[in-house]
Structure 1
Amino acid sequence: MPSKLALICVALVAAGAVMAQTRDVNVTVDPTKPGAAISPYIYGQFIEHLGRCIRQGIWAEMLRDRKFLQEPGKSWEVVKADGADFDVFLDPAAAYAGDHGMALWLKGAASGPCGIRQSGLGVVAGKEYVGYAYMAHAATPSPVDVRLQWGDGPDAGQTIRLEPARTYRQLAFRFKAGATADNATLSITMTAPGNLWIGCVSLMPADNVRGMRPDTLALIKQIAPPITRWPGGNFVSGYNWKDGIGPRDRRPPRWERAWSDIEDNDFGLDEFMAFCREVKTEPYICVNAGLGSAADAAEQVQYANGSEKTRWGAVRAVNGNPKPYGVVWWGIGNEMYGDWQLGNVPAERYAYRHNAFAASMRAEDPRIKIIGVGAPGRWNDVLLGTCAASMDLLSGHHYSGRGFRLPMSDDDTAKYAERFPSYSASVAEGVRGLVNDFRKRLGQGNAAVDKVRLAIDEWGIVRDWNGTPDGPGIGAFEHYYCLGDALAVARGMNELLRNADVVAMANWAQLVNVIATIKTSRTAAVMDPAGYVLAVYGGNLRGNILPVDVPKDAPLDGVASYEPAGKTLGIALVNHSLTEDLRVQLDVPGLGIRTAQAWTLTARHLTDTNVPGESERVTLRSLRGVALPGVVEVPKHSLVVLRYTGDIR
């Protein structure tokens, strides 16, 4: 066990309080020996219906349980004036979106508002918010007040009066916040006697983009994922995709069993496709092979890709999308080997199930490409031996564990720095383990297996498997990443690139909030340090992988690529030392001295992170005056990415 003095010294190093030493390192990139082509899908992303990844992260809906799955007193608080004869309950007779609606029954005049309200809403001064409610009076009509309250006192809010009819109709409202607040409240109340049914209610910022947050979309476009996996993840094994199509306000809310949460089904297949169009990413849809059937999966393919003359293609057209989506990539289940997975089965049973699903899905569209669930060891033995001919890619998942909550205490900072040399390599080692297990199966005389490639369609870092958020977070698994984590991600990215001959796809898990590359509060969004890594790599390392010669004793991890069509040379250098600045003499044979574009990801402290609504502490900034070949300064615990465009002789 390290002494207290040793931990103090390590903490000073992590805090940047120790003067760095400078070391000269010679690195050679050889453009004359291009290796495997890098699949653009290696920079993919993943979104799941978990926590605030989609709901309140991508999707702009501000209200929880807007279709009233849960009884009053949970997501919606009961408001009752003193002495009022008032009742609130879930009523099957009021059903609109699901099995019941919310019923408000005021039996006599009240001295104050009676109804329901939801707090914890974020609003910004001067910003407008739009919403609506489907309401009806069940017997006695009564006017209804919808109020957005952003502070204390009668003047710190705005009230809209609505007049419900005898049958359900949509009643709209619009507010302009008079102050910024992180705990605003929306209330729906009445003071005169009456019976009110509420089928559903919605509230979004007025600047939403087809129901999505514009601040989140802008950051996603910076990352520019070429492909995005959806809807899970563990979530998919209990998901009925048919719940997520049709008029959004009539889709049934469900209690989803994977993460024990409310699923409003507002973001379904059509919304996912709209998201893909907006951020220019290709869809990768995972079907429910846990509790779902092969017939359901085939119908999902038909809904996505079938003509208007097919049963489900016609339904898609009625839902406003007559043109088939042409989704190419489909996964059959998620982590079916794990006891945490709904419907998990032994390898032999999954192999049988995979083949049945693949046959049914390809009968609807033979052009689709299929990804099977993989896991190193015996599982892959069985699956590839049985299913190789019915898949294009085999999946593999890896997560490294950081173990410390952000912001870190002084003691945790010291421990994090002490283990950083091994931790920074852990993501790369996890990727290497998946690749090595896969490689040993190639070249064994099975032509079907030799055609399969690897999809590492979940990879990333967790603090731990406790869903409690880090300090700045709000929802489940909002684990923030610091600069040190981002460098571990970069080293993992390097390993993926070095294995481009077998890795055809990789999907960082996940895109927004949940162990994610983008973090949001209720009113702001920021690029996580890990997001900057994915963005700068994806924009600059493409084409074919190139050999890079780095001294084995140097704390430097480097990769390079060259894209002949764009004549673009990309180089990424990760300095994972906490004490040494590196002066890298970078040699590129065949390249005369040329100016290169360059960027560095760095921060003052190893444990710095970025928080929505605050100035960024971990920044990606441009470097000037960098020439290739030449000397490139790579400071301690930093990443430098370079790009040169032009001919190489």
Structure 2
Amino acid sequence: MSNRARLALDPAFRIAPVEPRLFGSFVEHMGRCVYTGIFEPGHPHADADGFRTDVLDLVRELGVTLVRYPGGNFVSNYRWEDGVGPRDQRPTTLDLAWRSIEDNSFGLNEFMAWAAKAGVEPMMALNLGTRGVAEALQLVEYANHPGGTRMSELRRAHGADKPHDIRLWCLGNELDGPWQMGHKTAREYGRLAAETARALNRLDPGLALVACGSSNSSIPTFGAWEAEVLEETYELVDYISLHAYYDPGDGDADSFLASAADMEHMIRSIAATADHTAAKLRSRKRLKLSFDEWNVWYQSRFPGESGLEWARHPRLIEDSYDLTDAVVVGSLLITLLRNADRVGVACQAQLANVIAPIMTEPGGPAWRQTIFHPFALTARHARGQVLRVEPDCSTVRTAKHGEVPVVCATATHDPASGEIALFVVNRDRHRPCVLEVALPRGLVPVEHVELADADPCARNTSAEPERVVPRPGSGLSCQDGAAALTLPPTSWTLVRFASEE
């Protein structure tokens, strides 16, 4: 027996424009994300700079618009100076976050050269864990000042004649977490972030700054942290960050498939906290959110960094994703779009090998994980305005999130082409869902693809890289301003509608 659901698509019901920065990713000096991931001199597909061109091709196909760098936990014990200048003069150092040996052969200037080839905007994180205002100023001067000063001339001496002009900066990373190098209280961090922001805005007015928010929704300081931090920083920053990872490892499949309910809760809670701060400060400013770390992560399988042995770019949390994981990733993307009026930046963590859509082997192939596909198709087709879509459907009872709708959906409308793209997930693990869609007159379906499989544990590997791929859907009918289709159990679906003229 099938579930049934209905929704309406109307271009008049707009939430906000689709922000390109929602399709960001994350490159951290962690595991093999950088080394043998995006950067592998000597690889058969390496270019003159040592960048893997097979990976670059996949990054472009993925549709990434922005990449956050260099961390993550890594940044809170990082000296950016160690990663610039002649490679043979760079020191080998210890990364305390992931107990790795870092040779610093890839640093700021290499990242910026890679970002230019990938066609992505850089989002740079500052170390406010073990460093402070002075070091942040030096890095921004090195990166952005045209020339004629100590730090800008140092950059030019290192071969980067023109300034990098990085506009988006994170004021530290997860400093609410006791695992972080330089962990601080909200008041301590808020004061440091505020002083850093004031100094940076004097050095380079017009930078977009991200204050650290909570590292997850279950940390005891969630909400209270943001309230304290924003009292110090509200008028000085442009975003407050959120981080969330969702673990399927406890066997509660229904709660896992409803992970987007927690993401929605986080967004609404922190947006409300920010708005409350604005009211207290009598500010007219409406702060945006930066969801700059999100993904599925089998954290229950990770023993923790304290148990790691010192090693160079070890194989670290290289999770292999299945069909169910891809459906959850699709629902998280839907949720980010549904909240495009408040979320201005989002970064799936990470890009290569480490909980990533792209996997590589040293000296060998690169391939797409299952989670690659909903991201790539959403990034490619979500254009114009996000529409308000409220499915009328049954619910699923979950242990972690209560009653959640069986169907999770959003849509976008591109005024230039008139096209509407519908993105929809069926969370029911056992039953298909018959979906009825009310359409504006004159629109007909032009594409119908679905990510589904009889085996929800099916995954892609180097030996079988296309075991799970989007395939044309079947059974879609359309007449008299209405469409109907059947959503398979545990599935992600894209339907594009365009004018029949």
Q: Would the aligned equivalents of 1:399 and 1:430 in 2 still touch at CA under 8 Å? A: no
1:612 maps to what in 2? 462
Counterparts of 1:433 and 1:520, CA distance in 2? 33
SS of aligned partner of 1:529: coil
Residue of 483, 488, 493 corresponding to 1:630: 483
1:506 maps to what in 2? 346
Percent sequence identity over aligned pairs: 30
Counterparts of 1:280 and 1:567, CA distance in 2? 27
Residue of 444, 449, 453 corresponding to 1:594: 444
Deviations 1:280-329 (A, max 9, x none): 11000001001112111111111111012222221222222211111110
Q: Would the aligned equivalents of 2:132 and 2:192 in 1 still touch at CA under 8 Å? A: no
Cα distance 1:445–1:257, how it changes in 2: closer, same or farther (>3 A)? closer
Q: Would the aligned equivalents of 1:498 and 1:545 in 2 still touch at CA under 8 Å? A: yes
Q: Would the aligned equivalents of 2:426 and 2:492 in 1 still touch at CA under 8 Å? A: yes
Task: Please say if 1:60 is aligned against 2:60.
Answer: no
SS of aligned partner of 2:334: helix
Deviations 1:326-380 (A, max 9, x none): 1110001001111110011111111111012112222221121100001232211
1:198 maps to what in 2? none
Query: Which structure features the higher share of strand residues?
Result: 1
Q: CA deviation at 1:24?
A: 4.4
Residue of 75, 94, 98 corresponding to 1:255: 94
Cα distance 1:468–1:209, how it changes in 2: closer, same or farther (>3 A)? farther
Cα distance 1:465–1:329, how it changes in 2: closer, same or farther (>3 A)? farther
Q: Would the aligned equivalents of 2:227 and 2:273 in 1 still touch at CA under 8 Å? A: no
1:429 maps to what in 2? 262
Q: Would the aligned equivalents of 1:490 and 1:533 in 2 still touch at CA under 8 Å? A: yes
Counterparts of 2:241 and 2:445, CA distance in 1? 40
1:343 maps to what in 2? 182
1:51 corresponds to which letter in structure 2? G
SS of aligned partner of 1:362: helix
Residue of 208, 226, 237 corresponding to 1:369: 208
Cα distance 1:465–1:277, how it changes in 2: closer, same or farther (>3 A)? farther
Deviations 1:537-586 (A, max 9, x none): 11112322212232230622111111223433111011122222233222
Counterparts of 2:498 and 2:154, CA distance in 1? 48
Q: Would the aligned equivalents of 2:476 and 2:486 in 1 still touch at CA under 8 Å? A: no
1:452 maps to what in 2? 287
Q: How does 1:20-419 map to 2 (within 5 A)?
A: 21-61=1-41, 203-205=42-44, 207-208=46-47, 210-375=49-214, 376-403=222-249, 416=251, 419=252
1:560 maps to what in 2? 411
Q: Would the aligned equivalents of 1:306 and 1:313 in 2 still touch at CA under 8 Å? A: yes
Deviations 1:17-50 (A, max 9, x none): xxxx444433321222222223221111111000
2:453 maps to what in 1? 603
Q: CA deviation at 1:232?
A: 0.4
2:147 corresponds to which letter in structure 1? E
2:424 corresponds to which letter in structure 1? L
1:488 maps to what in 2? 328
Cα distance 1:431–1:59, how it changes in 2: closer, same or farther (>3 A)? farther
Counterparts of 1:474 and 1:297, CA distance in 2? 29
SS of aligned partner of 1:532: helix
Counterparts of 1:420 and 1:391, CA distance in 2? 38
Q: Would the aligned equivalents of 2:45 and 2:52 in 1 still touch at CA under 8 Å? A: no
Greater shift, 23-32 or 249-258, is seen at 23-32
Q: CA deviation at 1:626?
A: 5.3
Counterparts of 1:481 and 1:296, CA distance in 2? 39
Structure 1 gaps of 5+ residues are 1-20, 62-202, 405-415
SS of aligned partner of 1:429: helix
SS of aligned partner of 1:597: strand
2:464 corresponds to which letter in structure 1? E
Deviations 1:599-646 (A, max 9, x none): 211223111111124242211234479565422232221111122345
Q: CA deviation at 1:484?
A: 0.7
1:137 maps to what in 2? none
Structure 2 gaps of 5+ residues are 215-221, 305-312, 396-405
Counterparts of 2:71 and 2:273, CA distance in 1? 29
Q: Would the aligned equivalents of 2:274 and 2:287 in 1 still touch at CA under 8 Å? A: no
Counterparts of 2:192 and 2:175, CA distance in 1? 11
1:224 corresponds to which letter in structure 2? G
1:517 maps to what in 2? 357
Higher relative contact order (CA 8 A, sep 6+): 2
Q: CA deviation at 1:213?
A: 1.3
1:141 maps to what in 2? none
Counterparts of 1:322 and 1:332, CA distance in 2? 26
Q: CA deviation at 1:395?
A: 0.5
Q: CA deviation at 1:209?
A: 5.4
Greater shift, 243-252 or 594-603, is seen at 594-603
Q: Would the aligned equivalents of 2:77 and 2:96 in 1 still touch at CA under 8 Å? A: yes
1:392 corresponds to which letter in structure 2? D
Q: Would the aligned equivalents of 1:229 and 1:507 in 2 still touch at CA under 8 Å? A: yes
Cα distance 1:261–1:440, how it changes in 2: closer, same or farther (>3 A)? closer
Deviations 1:32-81 (A, max 9, x none): 222222322111111100001111111114xxxxxxxxxxxxxxxxxxxx
Q: Would the aligned equivalents of 1:599 and 1:642 in 2 still touch at CA under 8 Å? A: yes
TM-score w.r.t. structure 2 length?
Answer: 0.88
Deviations 1:424-468 (A, max 9, x none): 112431342243232243162535474311101111121115547
Task: Please say if 1:462 is aligned against 2:297.
Answer: yes
2:426 maps to what in 1? 575
SS of aligned partner of 1:549: coil
1:587 corresponds to which letter in structure 2? A
Cα distance 1:447–1:517, how it changes in 2: closer, same or farther (>3 A)? farther
Counterparts of 1:331 and 1:355, CA distance in 2? 12
1:550 corresponds to which letter in structure 2? P
Q: Would the aligned equivalents of 1:400 and 1:427 in 2 still touch at CA under 8 Å? A: no
Task: Please say if 1:529 is aligned against 2:370.
Answer: yes
Counterparts of 2:184 and 2:394, CA distance in 1? 46
SS of aligned partner of 1:430: helix
Counterparts of 2:422 and 2:315, CA distance in 1? 37
SS of aligned partner of 1:389: coil
SS of aligned partner of 1:390: coil
2:347 corresponds to which letter in structure 1? N
Greater shift, 593-602 or 384-393, is seen at 593-602
SS of aligned partner of 1:205: coil
Counterparts of 1:26 and 1:307, CA distance in 2? 56
Cα distance 1:34–1:298, how it changes in 2: closer, same or farther (>3 A)? same
- Rg comparison, structure with higher value: 1
Cα distance 1:632–1:46, how it changes in 2: closer, same or farther (>3 A)? same
Q: Would the aligned equivalents of 1:224 and 1:280 in 2 still touch at CA under 8 Å? A: no
Counterparts of 1:232 and 1:254, CA distance in 2? 16
Cα distance 1:627–1:300, how it changes in 2: closer, same or farther (>3 A)? farther
1:568 corresponds to which letter in structure 2? E
1:558 corresponds to which letter in structure 2? A
Q: Would the aligned equivalents of 1:468 and 1:476 in 2 still touch at CA under 8 Å? A: no
